[in-house]
Chain A
Amino acid sequence: AQSVTQLGSHVSVSEGALVLLRCNYSSSVPPYLFWYVQYPNQGLQLLLKYTTGATLVKGINGFEAEFKKSETSFHLTKPSAHMSDAAEYFCAVSGPGGYQKVTFGTGTKLQVIP
């Protein structure tokens, strides 16, 4: 079984400040890890993914995340928040392979204060 835990259901940052959204995972097999973003009344869009190889992965809109196996973490960061980053962010995990069930966390709502 796999699961993810997102710490903090709501995070507020000032525009231009560092964004840090936390995610810890549990998996009995080598995980694939994802961050998705959801804007109001829309579906989810992939920000970035880790499968194998380099543990620091870069995604769209300046976001990046680092896979730390020893800490079972996959935190999402962005050096400088922009107003357009306000949305809900979901961490997700699956087993290796393109046909595995993807399990999502409960989400973190990011508020950006001007």
Chain B
Amino acid sequence: DAGVTQSPTHLIKTRGQQVTLRCSPKSGHDTVSWYQQALGQGPQFIFQYYEEEERQRGNFPDRFSGHQFPNYSSELNVNALLLGDSALYLCASSRSDRRDTGELFFGEGSRLTVL
């Protein structure tokens, strides 16, 4: 049973560029959440996708956008990159079932460096 997979694992961009990160959720999961983890910090919630729509959003600017596909996979897009966007981007999947306990299953992350 494949867990959460993310790609790419590492990438380097320059200021002003755009980046797309990809995530495939754990089998059986229909909800994908994205988190940003800056060095030495805890994960910060960016947004959550369910049924191909953004269901919740954290305190991130519109430069951060996403998409969820019919197969539940997801993309995170960041436009006009800033140096401060350098971080580990984590994808987490879960089931939107009221009986579920809210446990998140994380991928290993995509480490973005902005120069």
Contact = CB atoms under 8 A, between A and B. Distances in A.
Given A45-B106, A99-B55, A102-B33, A32 B101 contact: yes
Which of the four size classes fits the interface of chain A?
20 to 34
Interface stretch (A14-22, A67-75, A76-84, A90-98): A90-98
B56 interface: yes
A43 B102 contact: no
Given A43-B108, A44-B90, A100 B102 contact: yes
A42 interface: yes
Interface string B84-100: 00000010101111111
B66 to A, nearest CB: 15
B71 interface: no
Interface residues of B, number: 33
B55 A98 contact: no
A99 B98 CA distance: 8
Tell me the interface secondary structure of chain B in the complex: loop
Contacts of B92: 44, 102
B104 interface: yes
B94 A98 contact: yes
Contacts of A49: 101-103
A53 to B, nearest CB: 11
Tell me the interface secondary structure of chain A in the complex: loop
A40 B106 CA distance: 14
A94 B102 contact: yes
B98 A97 contact: yes
Interface of A: 32, 34, 36, 41-46, 49, 51, 90, 94, 97-107
Interface of B: 4, 31, 33, 35, 40-45, 48, 50, 55-56, 58, 90, 92, 94-109
22 contacts: A32-B102, A36-B104, A36-B106, A41-B108, A43-B107, A43-B108, A44-B106, A46-B105, A49-B102, A98-B95, A98-B96, A98-B97, A98-B98, A98-B100, A99-B50, A99-B55, A99-B100, A101-B33, A102-B92, A102-B104, A103-B45, A104-B43
A-B pairs with lowest CB-CB distance, top 4: A98-B100, A43-B106, A104-B42, A99-B96
